[in-house]
A and B are shown apart, each in its own frame.
Chain A
Amino acid sequence: MASLDRVKVLVLGDSGVGKSSLVHLLCQNQVLGNPSWTVGCSVDVRAQDYKEGTPEEKTYYIELWDVGGSVGCASSIKSTRAVFYNSVNGIILVHDLTNKKSSQNLYRWSLEALNKDSSPTGVIVSNGSDYDREQFAENPVPLLLIGTKFDQIPDNKRNEVLTRTAFLSEDFNAEEINLDCTNPRYLAAGTSNAVKLSRFFDKVIEKRYFTRDPSQMTGFTDRKRFNFKSLHYD
């Protein structure tokens, strides 16, 4: 398969936050019945209609790479995980709304993934583990923040948790979605969550295919012409 046709999105987060359930929900539109802990990396594919409803609509198949593990694990596991971080087009950061540590660990997760990114545009400089907000503002890789286990927050703590996640999404310069992976209602068509999700994936596709250097412009216009032709003869 030509590497030109691939759109790769990483799904990162601490062990047990619900990444596998989330990926299953996003790709199969079904709730995962028997979640078990992920060894290595599990991949799934989501059909995304880019620019849905417009004449330029096209279906892309986005690969969601669910990388398992924890931030504080052995360095042998970390170096092995690094092979999955190559040429990434987008990152979904998942944290557990009932566990503050998982939200804090997201900084380390994003630095681990972005520092290993070998594509020339994804250069992030980090001073040790210090996190710098400006890095994320200029970061070319689109990020999305998803908080899980939303239904398990008691009502009186809800505002506090939502304020905390608002700060988090500001730090990452990313949109945030809060949901419960065992309930597909949160991502039903037409909800603001579904809109945010669609916008994120569209942004990923756009950055991947439609913001090339001027030297590669011919490739871009060829593809657009091809799309238009195929639509015309449908």
Chain B
Amino acid sequence: MSFLVDSVIMFTSQVLFFGFGWLFFMRQLFKDYEVRQYVVQVVFSVTFAFSCTMFELIIFEILGALSSNSRYFHWKLNLYVILLVLIFVVPFYIGYFVVSNIRLLQRQKLLFACMVWFTFMYFFWKLGDPFPILSPKHGILSIEQLISRVGVIGVTLMALLSGFGAVNCPYTYMSYFLRNVTDSDILALERRLLQTMDMIISKKKRIAMTRRQMYQRGEDQNKQTGFWGMIKSVTSTQTGSENLSLIQQEVDALEELSRQLFLETVDLQATKERIEYSKTFQGKYFNFLGYFFSIYCVWKIFMVKFWSQHISFILVGIIIVTSIRGLLITLTKFFYAISSSKSSNVIVLVLAQIMGMYFVSSVLLMRMSMPLEYRSIVTEVLGELQFNFYHRWFDVIFLVSALSSILFLYLAHKQAPEKHMAL
């Protein structure tokens, strides 16, 4: 009887998560596009719903809600479904939509999509070999084999993201790092940009005028018969076209310059807005958080296993959420820039894949941060995975990611004011 009640609760919450994922898809991700393939929206919402359900189950575990039998059953069910989605459904659809974008392969879409999927499965399987993930007594399609591999990918992703977030979060919000940008800097750049556009226009006008004259002269030339007429037409068009190709090269160089100037101006505008934001109340609050987190992150980098487990659980979660949010926003912006109505489907599915793998592996890692008494359910459900391996792997990748982010941001920060001063 209690099993039925618990199942109803789980089902309702899953429907709620599904609805939330659906709305997020429509309002945020796809607000500039028309949804023509509803399967993409459904797959995204399903992945989101089952990922959130896993977190919900962990919380229920800690709170002791629902009976432990039904919790165990729902854990298993959820894991099976999400593995099915992450390994079979989403990669297959990614392959299918990538193939349908390529014009040459339109005929045998399904066949090529299956080929892509088999290639994915091959590499996915090979991924598990170099890692000491499990003892060899398990069968091929057992749940442990699949989870271990998903776990490796997801843990790597999480460590990369949290390493980057640990460094980027203080860098973005702390005003110490904000370069000083004045309005006159921006105006000077804009003036240069417009001057470059004017030069491009005047050269293109010359090309158009010369082409027109050549065309008209060409018509007149056709009337000229005889030997000299032929020689004249050859020589004049030759110098004409050489001239044109020279001007065309200059135009190409100027266009490249205009693109760079545009991007620099956007960068300066963004910095100026960030400076203005840092003066507001919200900005100051995030600035304080930035200092706080930077101290915590530095500590985490150097003293990995020290802090009390309960607090570490929450803080690790917050860092991961903020870094995921920051990176997703940047990725979304990047994807808005490059995605057209053709590639939007593929990109959303890739996001769904990353999200799903990330959530599965965060369950593995949470075991480290969870107090001892709650670890048993995770261990029971997931079988005999070598959890220590994942913890060590996370720490290594976190360190590598944080250090390379520091290096990368240092170089970017160093380079920018020099470029700025060269104007």
- Residues of A bordering B, CB below 8 Å: 1, 6, 14-16, 27, 37, 39-47, 59, 61, 63, 65, 69-77, 79-80, 83-84, 96, 98-101, 105
Contacts and interface: CB of A to CB of B under 8 A. Distances in A.
Chain B contact residues: over half helix, strand or loop, or mixed?
A: helix
Given A83-B194, A101-B34, A15 B340 contact: yes
B391 interface: no
Nearest to B190: A83
B270 interface: yes
B322 to A, nearest CB: 19
A40 B258 contact: yes
A99 B341 CA distance: 8
A80 B340 contact: no
B201 interface: yes
A15 B267 CA distance: 20
A77 B197 CA distance: 17
Contacts of B272: 76
A99 B31 contact: no
B21 to A, nearest CB: 20
B273 interface: yes
Contact of A72 (B201, B255, B273, B336): B336
B294 interface: no
B130 to A, nearest CB: 38
B76 interface: no
Give the interface size class of chain B.
35 or more
A75 B194 CA distance: 20
Interface in B315-354: 333, 336-338, 340-342
A43 B200 contact: yes
Contact of A76 (B193, B270, B337): B270
Contact of A43 (B201, B259, B265): B201
Contacts of A84: 197
B57 to A, nearest CB: 36
A41 B262 contact: yes
B8 interface: no
B137 to A, nearest CB: 52
B269 interface: yes
Interface of B: 31-34, 190, 193-194, 197-198, 200-202, 204-205, 207-209, 212, 255, 258-259, 261-263, 265-267, 269-270, 272-273, 333, 336-338, 340-342
Contact of A45 (B201, B333, B341): B201
Contacts of B255: 42
Contacts of B208: 27, 45-47, 61
Contacts of B267: 76
Given A39-B262, A40-B193, 18 more contacts: A1-B202, A14-B32, A15-B340, A27-B208, A40-B261, A40-B262, A41-B258, A43-B197, A43-B204, A47-B209, A59-B212, A73-B337, A75-B269, A75-B273, A76-B270, A80-B265, A80-B266, A101-B31
29 contacts: A15-B336, A37-B338, A39-B263, A40-B258, A40-B262, A42-B255, A43-B197, A43-B201, A43-B204, A45-B201, A46-B208, A47-B209, A65-B197, A72-B31, A72-B32, A74-B333, A75-B273, A76-B270, A76-B272, A77-B266, A77-B269, A79-B269, A80-B190, A80-B266, A83-B190, A84-B197, A98-B341, A99-B341, A100-B34
A57 to B, nearest CB: 14
B34 A15 contact: no
A41 B255 CA distance: 9
A39 B259 contact: yes
A132 B337 CA distance: 30
B187 to A, nearest CB: 10
B34 A99 contact: yes
Nearest to A59: B212
B298 to A, nearest CB: 30
B195 to A, nearest CB: 11
A19 B312 CA distance: 52
A16 B341 contact: yes
A41 B204 contact: no
A208 to B, nearest CB: 15
Nearest to A5: B205
B197 A70 contact: no
B205 A45 contact: yes
Contacts of A99: 33-34, 341
B312 to A, nearest CB: 35
Contacts of B270: 74, 76
A80 B264 CA distance: 10
A41 B257 CA distance: 11
Contacts of B205: 45, 61
A44 B341 contact: no
B32 A105 contact: yes
Contacts of A14: 32
A32 B17 CA distance: 45
Contacts of B31: 72, 101
Contact of B209 (A1, A41, A61): A61
Nearest to A37: B338
Contact of B341 (A1, A42, A73, A96): A96
Of B34, B207, B255, B342, most buried by chain A (CB within 10 Å of CB) is B34
Contacts of A75: 269, 273
Contacts of B273: 75-76
Contacts of B194: 83
Of A71, A74, A76, A80, most buried by chain B (CB within 10 Å of CB) is A80
The 8 closest A-B pairs by CB, nearest first: A40-B262, A16-B340, A76-B269, A76-B270, A45-B204, A39-B259, A80-B265, A83-B190
